[in-house]
Amino acid sequence: MEHLLRPIYQERAGDPDTLAVLLIEKREKLDPVTDTFDAILLIIARDAERPVYTKHYTDGAEKAAMHVVSEKQLKKWLLLGTNRKIVDWLLFGRILFDRNEYIETIKREMKEFPFYGRQIKMGLEFARLIRHYMEGRMFFEQENYLDAYNDVVRSLHGLARLSVIESGLFPEVTVWSQVRKIEPAIYKLYEELVLSDEPIEKRLELLFLAGEFFIHSRTEDGARHIVSVMSERPVWTIQELHEQEELRNYSADLEVFIEYLIEKGYIDAVQEPAKDGRIDHRYYRAAGRE
């Protein structure tokens, strides 16, 4: 397949806007990392009309996909963790073209993982984790055990990704293989949830009890980013928090995360009377800031 793609990537490599070209080849018969394609051609462009531009090719026997990704979109994926296979592509893809060692620099940064980058990623992962954990508890109390199970699995996956981030690594597609080595206790919880012969409600009850400990032990680190941002001003409206450049990445999880951190004492809710005097405005500030 590579020889068929060669004219395409050679043409792209000649474009001064192209930063790098990588080839990712299928490793298994049905490989989700390549979306079941035989090969992926990943092209990173400095500026692009679209964040992602995709084309499919075939020679009749094999099929390939080309993705042209803007540098801005790539960095957004790496920050938010919303495209996990991109980490696999960057780490294990074969470099066909690398302008000024762009990919080598990205891979080095991923391995070094600057502390501030970890703070943001931990905050985002922790916020998602809190939402799934709270929704799971609600479903559990309503005796909707299958819905609760789904959220608990997502919560455990969030804990797994947090564990990997804490260790200074990027969570990969095979995150449980990483966690098995980094934090076996979380891996064991996952095994007990999915492999135990206990009734589903018993498994969930155990996981909620154990989950409390793991979540509590990570709350300070998970809250550090949002509290740091909020410390820049004395008080915030909820709209200002939604519009803040970094906090907008929390998206739909922001408000439930704030309420959780109020309960845990990391954020204070501040009330001020509205004009009519019958209701109060609710504002927010980092705890301990007057």
Q: Which domain holds residue 195?
A: 115-286
Q: What is the pLDDT along the chain (290 residues), one digit of tens a residue?
A: 777 788 888 888 889 999 999 999 987 766 678 888 999 999 999 988 899 999 999 988 889 999 999 999 998 888 887 787 898 899 889 999 999 999 999 988 877 766 657 888 899 999 999 999 999 999 999 999 999 999 999 999 999 999 988 887 777 777 899 999 999 999 999 999 999 999 999 999 999 988 889 999 999 999 999 999 999 999 999 999 999 998 998 988 999 999 999 999 999 999 998 887 788 999 999 997 65
Residue finishing a domain among 85, 111, 137:
111
Same domain, 103 and 7: yes
The pLDDT value given to residue 91: 87
Same domain, 75 and 145: no
The pLDDT value given to residue 205: 93
Same domain, 102 and 148: no
Q: How many structural domains is the chain composed of?
A: 2
Global pTM value: 0.77
Same domain, 264 and 202: yes
How many whole angstroms separate alpha carbon 29 and alpha carbon 37? 9
As given in the structure block, the two tokens for residue 195 are 């492999």
Same domain, 210 and 148: yes
The pLDDT value given to residue 33: 80
Residue finishing a domain among 111, 145, 180:
111
> How far from 11 is each of 7, 15, 43, 70, 123, CA to CA, in Å?
6, 7, 11, 17, 41
The pLDDT value given to residue 8: 86
The pLDDT value given to residue 135: 95
**SS3 state at 63:** strand
Residue finishing a domain among 55, 90, 111:
111
| Domain CATH for 71 | 3.30.460.10
Same domain, 167 and 265: yes
Same domain, 200 and 247: yes
Same domain, 48 and 153: no
**Phi, psi angles (nearest 5°) of residue 12:** -65, -40
The set of residues, in sequence order, having a beta carbon less than 8 Å from that of 174 and lying 6+ positions away, is none
The set of residues, in sequence order, having a beta carbon less than 8 Å from that of 140 and lying 6+ positions away, is 148, 201, 204, 205, 208
Helices and strands of the chain, counted as H and E runs = 11, 7
**Residue 264, by phi and psi: left (phi above 0), alpha (psi -120 to 50) or beta?**
alpha
Same domain, 133 and 70: no
Same domain, 76 and 198: no
Same domain, 103 and 143: no
Same domain, 105 and 124: no
As given in the structure block, the two tokens for residue 273 are 């009377």
